[in-house]
Amino acid sequence: MTGSGHGRLNSLSLLHRCKVTGNDGDIGQVRLALFDTADWRIRFLVLESSPWLFGRWVLIPPSLLLQPIERGSMHMDVCRRMVRTSPTLHPLQGISAEQARSALLHYGQAAPAAAIPLLTEASLLACDLSSDGVDIGRVVDLVYDDADWMLRYLLVDTARWWQGGHRVLISVCWVDAINAIDVEARQLRVSVDRASVRNSPPFQDIASIDRDYESELHRSHGRDRYWIEPPVAA
């Protein structure tokens, strides 16, 4: 996964129902986030535009965000007319690669020639994590970097096998492969074991995650820190 991440880490669950305003008024509320399965980057926010567009759902790239999210609200560099004329979206029917491409072009964003492989965060929530057939836990939330909109961590509940255990963070880099997600069976394979999970620092709240915490987390799993560039070979 690329990107060193210099922003603030946030819980994706706190993004839901976040109020979004544009340059000329309210747009709607965040309902879903769509991430790219190729690099774990959040490519779109799905907004419900109630009431002014009668509850219509629309796709908006998070790159249009003008300022940090504060107190359940965000301001985006978009006008209501642009949202009104955006491609029609039916989230319950799924979101196609063509809809994603059309939305990017509509907002003046660069659209890749190849289809963007997208999943909603709902595809990861409640997924069971395992390592070599051993239960690791269940995903209860996702943590992203608000500078580059990269998903960084899965928040995992270990209570099924660790009595008195705690919730822990597991990096998305430690997922065996994004295509290893079995959406139907809610299964995800990770390359960690129970011993390293036990040794990892407990998750308290999103505000407690800083570089010291992340460093300790990576040390407990014997992993390189994602924000440190590897040395250049001579």
Looking at the fold, whether 161 and 81 belong to one and the same domain comes out as no
Confidence of residue 1 (pLDDT cuts 50, 70, 90): very low
Summarised one tens digit per residue, pLDDT across range 32-83 is 999 988 889 999 999 999 788 888 899 999 999 987 787 789 999 999 999 9
* Polymer length in residues for the chain: 234
Q: Which of 119, 149, 182 is the last residue of a domain?
A: 119
Confidence of residue 149 (pLDDT cuts 50, 70, 90): very high
CA dihedral of 78, 81, 83, 85, whole degrees rounded to 10: -140
Q: What is the CATH number of the domain that holds 51?
A: 2.30.30.240
Q: What is the CATH number of the domain that holds 164?
A: 3.90.50.10
Lowest-pLDDT choice from 26-35, 208-217, 222-231: 222-231
> CA–CA separation, 9 vs 55, rounded Å?
30
Q: Which of 71, 97, 119 is the last residue of a domain?
A: 119
Supply the range of the domain harboring residue 70.
9-119
% of the chain residues with pLDDT over 90: 61
Confidence of residue 92 (pLDDT cuts 50, 70, 90): low
Q: Is 230 inside any structural domain?
A: no
Question: Which residues, 6+ apart, have CB-to-CB distance to 136 below 8 Å?
Answer: 129, 130, 156, 158, 170, 190, 192, 194, 197
Angle made by CA atoms 152, 227, 117, in degrees to the nearest 5: 40
Q: Would you say residue 114 has pLDDT above 60?
A: yes
Confidence of residue 2 (pLDDT cuts 50, 70, 90): very low
Q: Would you say residue 182 has pLDDT above 90?
A: no
Domain count, the chain: 2
Q: Is 67 inside any structural domain?
A: yes
**Helices of type H across the chain:** 80-84, 97-106, 194-199, 211-220
Cis status, amide bond into 51, omega within 30 of 0: yes
Confidence of residue 155 (pLDDT cuts 50, 70, 90): very high
Q: Which of 183, 52, 44, 80 is nearest to 127 (CA)?
A: 183
Question: Which residues, 6+ apart, have CB-to-CB distance to 6 below 8 Å?
Answer: 147
Q: Is 231 inside any structural domain?
A: no
Q: Which of 84, 119, 154 is the last residue of a domain?
A: 119
Looking at the fold, whether 67 and 111 belong to one and the same domain comes out as yes
Looking at the fold, whether 134 and 156 belong to one and the same domain comes out as yes
Q: Would you say residue 4 has pLDDT above 60?
A: no
Looking at the fold, whether 82 and 146 belong to one and the same domain comes out as no
